[in-house]
Amino acid sequence: MEAQEIKPYSYYEQVIRMKGKADKYDLRLRMVNCARQHGVKPTARLFDTTAKTVRKWLRRYEQERLAGLNELPRIPLKCPHKTSPIIEKKVVKLRKQYPFKGSKRLKREHDIACSHEAIRRILNEHGLIKKRRKKHKRKKDLSAIKAKWPLFSQFSVDTKDLKDIPHYWPQMKNMKLPKYQFTAREVRSGLMYLGYGNQKTAVNACLFIRIICEHLRKCGIDMDALKFQTDNGSEFIGCFRQDRTRDGFGKIVEGFGATHKRIPPRAWSYNSDVETVHSTIELEFFDLENFENIKDFHQRVASFQACYNLIRQNSNKAFKTPWQIIHEIKPNLNIELARLPPIMLDWVSPGYITREELSLRGYDLPCYPSRKYLCR
Protein backbone atom coordinates (compact mmCIF):
# COMPACT_ATOMS: atom_id res chain seq x y z
CA MET A 1 0.00 0.00 0.00
CA GLU A 2 1.33 3.39 -0.97
CA ALA A 3 1.63 6.11 1.69
CA GLN A 4 -0.59 8.43 -0.39
CA GLU A 5 -3.46 5.93 -0.23
CA ILE A 6 -3.63 5.88 3.57
CA LYS A 7 -6.65 7.67 4.98
CA PRO A 8 -5.39 10.72 6.95
CA TYR A 9 -6.06 11.13 10.68
CA SER A 10 -5.91 14.27 12.85
CA TYR A 11 -4.05 12.86 15.85
CA TYR A 12 -4.32 15.80 18.26
CA GLU A 13 -8.00 16.44 17.56
CA GLN A 14 -8.87 12.82 18.17
CA VAL A 15 -6.84 12.65 21.39
CA ILE A 16 -8.59 15.74 22.74
CA ARG A 17 -12.05 14.39 21.86
CA MET A 18 -11.39 10.91 23.18
CA LYS A 19 -12.40 10.43 26.82
CA GLY A 20 -11.62 6.74 27.23
CA LYS A 21 -8.12 5.32 27.61
CA ALA A 22 -8.97 2.43 25.23
CA ASP A 23 -9.72 4.79 22.34
CA LYS A 24 -6.39 6.61 22.77
CA TYR A 25 -4.58 3.29 23.04
CA ASP A 26 -6.15 2.10 19.76
CA LEU A 27 -5.22 5.34 17.98
CA ARG A 28 -1.56 5.04 19.04
CA LEU A 29 -1.47 1.39 17.95
CA ARG A 30 -2.67 2.38 14.45
CA MET A 31 -0.04 5.13 14.31
CA VAL A 32 2.73 2.72 15.36
CA ASN A 33 1.69 0.11 12.77
CA CYS A 34 1.61 2.80 10.09
CA ALA A 35 5.09 4.01 11.09
CA ARG A 36 6.50 0.49 10.93
CA GLN A 37 5.10 0.05 7.40
CA HIS A 38 5.59 3.48 5.81
CA GLY A 39 8.11 5.32 7.98
CA VAL A 40 8.06 8.07 10.58
CA LYS A 41 7.69 11.23 8.50
CA PRO A 42 4.87 9.98 6.19
CA THR A 43 3.02 8.79 9.31
CA ALA A 44 3.50 12.17 10.97
CA ARG A 45 1.98 13.91 7.94
CA LEU A 46 -0.94 11.49 7.74
CA PHE A 47 -1.76 11.71 11.46
CA ASP A 48 -1.23 15.48 11.50
CA THR A 49 1.39 15.36 14.23
CA THR A 50 5.15 15.73 14.60
CA ALA A 51 7.83 13.18 13.81
CA LYS A 52 8.99 13.48 17.43
CA THR A 53 5.62 12.22 18.65
CA VAL A 54 5.64 9.28 16.22
CA ARG A 55 9.19 8.35 17.29
CA LYS A 56 8.19 8.52 20.97
CA TRP A 57 5.37 6.01 20.64
CA LEU A 58 7.35 3.82 18.24
CA ARG A 59 10.24 3.69 20.74
CA ARG A 60 7.92 2.81 23.62
CA TYR A 61 6.32 0.06 21.53
CA GLU A 62 9.70 -1.43 20.66
CA GLN A 63 10.81 -1.36 24.32
CA GLU A 64 7.64 -2.43 26.12
CA ARG A 65 5.44 -3.73 23.29
CA LEU A 66 1.72 -3.05 23.77
CA ALA A 67 2.11 -1.91 27.41
CA GLY A 68 4.24 0.99 26.22
CA LEU A 69 1.26 2.59 24.46
CA ASN A 70 -0.51 3.34 27.75
CA GLU A 71 -0.25 6.83 29.20
CA LEU A 72 2.30 7.29 31.96
CA PRO A 73 1.31 9.18 35.13
CA ARG A 74 2.16 12.87 34.93
CA ILE A 75 3.31 12.98 38.56
CA PRO A 76 7.04 13.78 38.67
CA LEU A 77 9.31 11.01 39.90
CA LYS A 78 11.02 13.42 42.30
CA CYS A 79 9.32 16.36 43.99
CA PRO A 80 11.68 18.08 46.46
CA HIS A 81 8.99 20.52 47.58
CA LYS A 82 6.37 17.86 48.39
CA THR A 83 5.00 17.96 51.93
CA SER A 84 6.62 15.21 53.99
CA PRO A 85 4.49 12.38 55.40
CA ILE A 86 5.48 13.45 58.94
CA ILE A 87 4.00 16.92 58.45
CA GLU A 88 0.93 15.44 56.75
CA LYS A 89 0.30 13.13 59.71
CA LYS A 90 0.77 16.06 62.10
CA VAL A 91 -1.78 18.17 60.22
CA VAL A 92 -4.35 15.35 60.20
CA LYS A 93 -3.81 14.65 63.91
CA LEU A 94 -4.15 18.33 64.89
CA ARG A 95 -7.28 18.75 62.78
CA LYS A 96 -8.94 15.76 64.44
CA GLN A 97 -7.89 17.07 67.85
CA TYR A 98 -9.02 20.64 67.09
CA PRO A 99 -11.77 20.35 64.45
CA PHE A 100 -12.63 24.05 64.82
CA LYS A 101 -9.21 25.25 63.61
CA GLY A 102 -8.75 26.12 59.93
CA SER A 103 -5.61 25.90 57.82
CA LYS A 104 -4.33 29.40 58.66
CA ARG A 105 -4.90 28.94 62.38
CA LEU A 106 -3.22 25.52 62.40
CA LYS A 107 -0.12 26.96 60.76
CA ARG A 108 0.00 30.02 63.01
CA GLU A 109 -0.61 28.31 66.36
CA HIS A 110 1.23 25.01 65.85
CA ASP A 111 4.23 26.16 63.79
CA ILE A 112 3.69 23.77 60.87
CA ALA A 113 6.48 23.94 58.31
CA CYS A 114 4.36 24.37 55.18
CA SER A 115 2.00 26.95 53.71
CA HIS A 116 -1.63 27.21 54.74
CA GLU A 117 -2.59 26.29 51.14
CA ALA A 118 -0.71 22.99 51.56
CA ILE A 119 -2.45 22.40 54.90
CA ARG A 120 -5.83 23.01 53.29
CA ARG A 121 -4.96 20.57 50.48
CA ILE A 122 -4.04 17.91 53.05
CA LEU A 123 -7.29 18.47 54.95
CA ASN A 124 -9.26 18.26 51.72
CA GLU A 125 -7.54 15.03 50.64
CA HIS A 126 -8.41 13.40 53.98
CA GLY A 127 -12.01 14.61 53.92
CA LEU A 128 -11.56 16.87 56.97
CA ILE A 129 -13.17 19.99 55.49
CA LYS A 130 -16.90 20.35 55.96
CA LYS A 131 -18.88 22.42 53.52
CA ARG A 132 -20.52 25.37 55.20
CA ARG A 133 -24.17 26.00 54.66
CA LYS A 134 -24.71 29.01 52.45
CA LYS A 135 -26.70 31.86 53.91
CA HIS A 136 -29.75 32.98 51.98
CA LYS A 137 -28.88 36.62 52.49
CA ARG A 138 -25.47 38.17 52.85
CA LYS A 139 -25.25 40.31 55.95
CA LYS A 140 -23.42 43.57 55.79
CA ASP A 141 -19.91 43.25 57.13
CA LEU A 142 -19.65 45.48 60.19
CA SER A 143 -16.03 44.71 61.01
CA ALA A 144 -14.72 47.86 59.34
CA ILE A 145 -17.33 50.00 61.09
CA LYS A 146 -16.69 48.51 64.54
CA ALA A 147 -12.94 48.91 64.04
CA LYS A 148 -13.50 52.68 64.16
CA TRP A 149 -15.49 52.61 67.41
CA PRO A 150 -13.87 54.10 70.51
CA LEU A 151 -12.38 51.54 72.87
CA PHE A 152 -14.62 50.66 75.83
CA SER A 153 -17.65 52.39 74.41
CA GLN A 154 -19.97 49.36 74.54
CA PHE A 155 -20.23 45.90 76.10
CA SER A 156 -22.70 43.34 74.74
CA VAL A 157 -24.13 41.21 77.56
CA ASP A 158 -26.16 38.02 77.23
CA THR A 159 -26.76 34.61 78.78
CA LYS A 160 -26.27 31.12 77.36
CA ASP A 161 -28.16 27.99 78.35
CA LEU A 162 -25.58 25.24 78.81
CA LYS A 163 -28.13 22.42 79.19
CA ASP A 164 -28.44 21.97 75.41
CA ILE A 165 -24.76 21.05 74.85
CA PRO A 166 -24.66 17.23 74.40
CA HIS A 167 -21.05 16.73 75.54
CA TYR A 168 -21.46 18.95 78.61
CA TRP A 169 -24.96 17.90 79.76
CA PRO A 170 -24.03 14.50 81.35
CA GLN A 171 -21.14 16.11 83.23
CA MET A 172 -23.40 18.91 84.41
CA LYS A 173 -25.93 16.42 85.79
CA ASN A 174 -23.38 14.15 87.48
CA MET A 175 -21.13 16.81 88.99
CA LYS A 176 -23.70 19.60 89.49
CA LEU A 177 -21.87 22.00 87.21
CA PRO A 178 -23.34 25.43 86.28
CA LYS A 179 -26.38 25.46 84.03
CA TYR A 180 -26.08 29.02 82.70
CA GLN A 181 -23.33 31.24 81.39
CA PHE A 182 -23.32 35.04 81.63
CA THR A 183 -21.16 36.74 79.01
CA ALA A 184 -19.98 40.33 78.59
CA ARG A 185 -17.92 41.22 75.51
CA GLU A 186 -16.36 44.56 74.60
CA VAL A 187 -17.28 45.28 70.98
CA ARG A 188 -14.14 47.08 69.77
CA SER A 189 -11.46 44.71 71.09
CA GLY A 190 -13.43 41.51 71.74
CA LEU A 191 -12.39 41.40 75.43
CA MET A 192 -14.57 38.80 77.17
CA TYR A 193 -15.73 38.29 80.76
CA LEU A 194 -17.63 35.17 81.86
CA GLY A 195 -19.86 34.25 84.76
CA TYR A 196 -21.57 30.96 85.71
CA GLY A 197 -24.55 30.09 87.84
CA ASN A 198 -27.32 27.56 88.32
CA GLN A 199 -30.10 30.11 87.84
CA LYS A 200 -30.80 32.65 85.12
CA THR A 201 -32.24 35.33 87.38
CA ALA A 202 -31.95 39.07 87.81
CA VAL A 203 -29.97 38.43 91.00
CA ASN A 204 -27.19 36.65 89.14
CA ALA A 205 -27.25 39.20 86.33
CA CYS A 206 -26.86 42.03 88.85
CA LEU A 207 -24.03 40.25 90.65
CA PHE A 208 -22.28 39.60 87.37
CA ILE A 209 -22.46 43.17 86.09
CA ARG A 210 -21.56 44.71 89.47
CA ILE A 211 -18.30 42.73 89.67
CA ILE A 212 -17.42 43.65 86.08
CA CYS A 213 -18.16 47.36 86.65
CA GLU A 214 -16.04 47.41 89.80
CA HIS A 215 -13.20 45.72 87.92
CA LEU A 216 -13.39 48.16 84.99
CA ARG A 217 -13.46 51.21 87.26
CA LYS A 218 -10.54 49.86 89.29
CA CYS A 219 -8.53 49.44 86.06
CA GLY A 220 -9.10 53.06 85.03
CA ILE A 221 -11.91 52.71 82.47
CA ASP A 222 -14.09 55.80 81.92
CA MET A 223 -17.49 54.48 83.00
CA ASP A 224 -19.41 57.59 81.88
CA ALA A 225 -18.72 56.78 78.20
CA LEU A 226 -19.61 53.09 78.55
CA LYS A 227 -22.84 51.36 77.48
CA PHE A 228 -24.00 47.86 78.42
CA GLN A 229 -26.29 46.43 75.74
CA THR A 230 -28.63 43.53 76.56
CA ASP A 231 -31.74 41.90 75.16
CA ASN A 232 -35.10 42.09 76.90
CA GLY A 233 -34.75 38.98 79.03
CA SER A 234 -36.24 39.04 82.51
CA GLU A 235 -32.79 38.70 84.04
CA PHE A 236 -31.93 42.15 82.63
CA ILE A 237 -35.21 44.06 82.86
CA GLY A 238 -36.86 42.46 85.90
CA CYS A 239 -40.36 41.83 84.52
CA PHE A 240 -42.48 42.66 81.50
CA ARG A 241 -44.15 45.89 82.55
CA GLN A 242 -44.20 49.46 81.30
CA ASP A 243 -42.80 50.59 84.63
CA ARG A 244 -39.08 49.76 84.52
CA THR A 245 -38.36 50.74 88.13
CA ARG A 246 -37.69 47.07 88.85
CA ASP A 247 -34.72 47.07 86.50
CA GLY A 248 -32.01 46.14 89.01
CA PHE A 249 -29.46 45.55 86.23
CA GLY A 250 -29.96 49.09 84.94
CA LYS A 251 -29.73 50.56 88.44
CA ILE A 252 -26.35 48.96 89.04
CA VAL A 253 -24.99 50.05 85.66
CA GLU A 254 -26.22 53.61 86.13
CA GLY A 255 -24.81 53.64 89.66
CA PHE A 256 -21.35 53.34 88.14
CA GLY A 257 -22.06 56.14 85.65
CA ALA A 258 -22.59 53.85 82.64
CA THR A 259 -25.72 53.39 80.51
CA HIS A 260 -27.99 50.37 80.08
CA LYS A 261 -29.18 49.96 76.49
CA ARG A 262 -31.81 47.39 75.44
CA ILE A 263 -32.09 46.07 71.90
CA PRO A 264 -35.47 46.05 70.09
CA PRO A 265 -37.65 42.95 70.63
CA ARG A 266 -36.72 39.96 68.44
CA ALA A 267 -33.66 41.80 67.05
CA TRP A 268 -31.11 39.17 68.07
CA SER A 269 -28.58 40.29 65.44
CA TYR A 270 -28.01 43.46 67.47
CA ASN A 271 -26.13 41.30 69.98
CA SER A 272 -24.16 39.42 67.33
CA ASP A 273 -20.82 40.07 69.05
CA VAL A 274 -21.75 38.09 72.14
CA GLU A 275 -23.73 35.47 70.18
CA THR A 276 -20.64 34.79 68.07
CA VAL A 277 -18.47 34.21 71.11
CA HIS A 278 -21.10 31.83 72.52
CA SER A 279 -20.67 29.67 69.43
CA THR A 280 -16.87 29.84 69.77
CA ILE A 281 -16.95 28.79 73.44
CA GLU A 282 -19.21 25.84 72.73
CA LEU A 283 -17.05 24.68 69.83
CA GLU A 284 -13.62 25.24 71.38
CA PHE A 285 -14.33 24.52 75.04
CA PHE A 286 -17.53 22.71 76.02
CA ASP A 287 -17.42 20.23 73.11
CA LEU A 288 -13.88 19.18 74.05
CA GLU A 289 -13.35 19.40 77.81
CA ASN A 290 -13.95 16.67 80.40
CA PHE A 291 -14.24 17.92 83.98
CA GLU A 292 -13.49 16.23 87.28
CA ASN A 293 -15.50 18.49 89.60
CA ILE A 294 -16.70 22.07 90.00
CA LYS A 295 -13.24 23.36 90.96
CA ASP A 296 -11.69 21.70 87.94
CA PHE A 297 -14.41 23.33 85.82
CA HIS A 298 -13.51 26.76 87.19
CA GLN A 299 -9.80 26.24 86.56
CA ARG A 300 -10.34 25.09 82.99
CA VAL A 301 -12.76 27.86 82.06
CA ALA A 302 -10.41 30.41 83.65
CA SER A 303 -7.59 29.11 81.45
CA PHE A 304 -9.81 29.33 78.39
CA GLN A 305 -10.87 32.90 79.14
CA ALA A 306 -7.25 33.97 79.75
CA CYS A 307 -6.21 32.31 76.49
CA TYR A 308 -9.04 34.02 74.61
CA ASN A 309 -8.18 37.48 75.96
CA LEU A 310 -4.38 37.25 75.83
CA ILE A 311 -3.27 34.59 73.33
CA ARG A 312 -5.98 33.57 70.85
CA GLN A 313 -5.83 35.67 67.67
CA ASN A 314 -9.09 36.75 66.07
CA SER A 315 -9.18 36.49 62.26
CA ASN A 316 -11.98 39.08 62.12
CA LYS A 317 -9.82 41.60 63.96
CA ALA A 318 -6.67 41.46 61.79
CA PHE A 319 -5.37 38.36 63.66
CA LYS A 320 -4.90 40.27 66.90
CA THR A 321 -5.81 39.28 70.43
CA PRO A 322 -8.16 41.48 72.48
CA TRP A 323 -5.28 42.58 74.70
CA GLN A 324 -3.14 43.51 71.67
CA ILE A 325 -5.91 45.80 70.40
CA ILE A 326 -6.36 47.37 73.83
CA HIS A 327 -2.61 47.87 74.33
CA GLU A 328 -2.21 49.48 70.88
CA ILE A 329 -4.98 52.00 71.52
CA LYS A 330 -4.38 52.62 75.24
CA PRO A 331 -0.87 51.43 76.20
CA ASN A 332 -1.22 52.89 79.71
CA LEU A 333 -3.83 50.30 80.78
CA ASN A 334 -2.66 47.46 83.00
CA ILE A 335 -2.84 43.89 81.75
CA GLU A 336 -4.85 42.97 84.87
CA LEU A 337 -7.80 44.43 82.96
CA ALA A 338 -7.89 41.24 80.87
CA ARG A 339 -7.22 38.87 83.77
CA LEU A 340 -10.50 38.97 85.67
CA PRO A 341 -11.27 35.25 86.25
CA PRO A 342 -14.70 33.81 85.45
CA ILE A 343 -17.23 34.70 88.15
CA MET A 344 -18.82 31.73 89.88
CA LEU A 345 -22.03 33.47 90.89
CA ASP A 346 -23.07 30.80 93.39
CA TRP A 347 -19.88 31.47 95.36
CA VAL A 348 -20.29 35.26 95.61
CA SER A 349 -20.94 36.88 98.98
CA PRO A 350 -24.36 38.56 99.38
CA GLY A 351 -22.62 41.81 100.28
CA TYR A 352 -22.16 42.51 96.58
CA ILE A 353 -25.77 43.65 96.15
CA THR A 354 -28.03 45.87 98.23
CA ARG A 355 -31.74 45.98 98.99
CA GLU A 356 -32.05 49.32 97.20
CA GLU A 357 -30.74 47.88 93.94
CA LEU A 358 -33.42 45.20 93.97
CA SER A 359 -36.07 47.09 95.90
CA LEU A 360 -39.12 45.70 94.11
CA ARG A 361 -40.24 42.16 93.51
CA GLY A 362 -39.91 40.53 90.08
CA TYR A 363 -42.00 37.62 88.94
CA ASP A 364 -39.14 35.13 89.20
CA LEU A 365 -37.17 36.26 92.28
CA PRO A 366 -37.67 37.54 95.82
CA CYS A 367 -37.35 41.24 96.64
CA TYR A 368 -33.96 40.68 98.28
CA PRO A 369 -31.61 37.80 97.45
CA SER A 370 -31.29 35.41 100.32
CA ARG A 371 -28.05 33.61 100.98
CA LYS A 372 -29.19 30.49 99.18
CA TYR A 373 -29.24 32.45 95.90
CA LEU A 374 -25.78 33.91 96.35
CA CYS A 375 -23.50 31.33 97.87
CA ARG A 376 -23.58 27.63 98.57
CA dihedral 160, 164, 167, 172 (to 10 degrees): 70
> Which residues, 6+ apart, have CB-to-CB distance to 82 below 8 Å?
none
Tell me what the mean pLDDT of segment 170-187 comes to. Answer: 94
Same domain, 215 and 337: yes
Q: What is the pLDDT of residue 360?
A: 39
Same domain, 182 and 318: yes
Same domain, 181 and 93: no
Distance CA 365, CA 201 (A): 7
pLDDT per residue as tens digits for the range 296-347: 999 999 999 999 999 999 888 888 999 999 999 999 999 999 999 999 998 8
Q: Is the pLDDT of residue 239 over 60?
A: no
Same domain, 11 and 99: no
Same domain, 42 and 102: no
Number of domains in the chain: 3
Same domain, 28 and 106: no
- Which range, of 19-28, 30-39, 349-358, averages the lowest pLDDT? 349-358
Same domain, 109 and 30: no
**Residue range(s) defining the domain that contains residue 237:** 145-374
Cβ atoms of residues 353 and 368 within 8 Å: no
Tell me what the mean pLDDT of segment 163-189 comes to. Answer: 94
Same domain, 204 and 310: yes
CATH code of 213's domain: 3.30.420.10
Same domain, 231 and 366: yes
- 360 within domain boundaries: yes
Same domain, 335 and 255: yes
State the pTM of this model.
Answer: 0.65
pLDDT per residue as tens digits for the range 136-174: 444 446 667 777 889 999 999 999 999 999 999 999 999
- 235 within domain boundaries: yes
Distance CA 331, CA 134 (A): 40
Q: Is the pLDDT of residue 204 over 50?
A: yes
